[in-house]
Structure 1
Amino acid sequence: MKALLSSRPVLWFLFLFNAVVAAAAPFVVDGTQGIMSAVGMGVVSLGAGAGLVRGRGHRKAAAV
């Protein structure tokens, strides 16, 4: 399962999907629930983005 979640296509999907949901949540859901949804999805998106950046540096080092 870890290999699937750390693959580049899955990380890109998690990053983009969660970023879009985080941007739209405060407008779709009212009040505190919309804000907390945006924060939660934003954290997941940032985690996936960090995985993409970390994986990119690791792949360059392995190719050298």
Structure 2
Amino acid sequence: MKSLLASRPVLWFLFLFNLVVAAVAPFVVDGTQGVLTAVGMGVVSLGAGVSLLRG
């Protein structure tokens, strides 16, 4: 599982998908839940982006 998550295509998918969800979530989901969803997805996207830069 670790080798799958470390592959470049999976990291790109995680980065882009979570970035899009983080950008759209506050507009689709109302209130605190939308903001927390955006923050959570943003953190995952940043983690994947950092892994892409390191590798």
Would you identify which runs of 4 or more consecutive aligned residues in structure 1 move more than 3 Å? none
| TM value normalised by structure 1 | 0.86
Aligned to 1:40: 40
**Root mean square deviation of aligned Cα:** 0.2
- Distance in 2, matches of 1:54 and 1:43, equals 17
Counting matched residue pairs gives 55
For structure 2, the 5+ residue unaligned runs are: none
| TM value normalised by structure 2 | 0.99
Aligned to 1:22: 22
For structure 1, the 5+ residue unaligned runs are: 56-64
Q: Which has the higher contact order (CA 8 A, sep 6+)?
A: 2
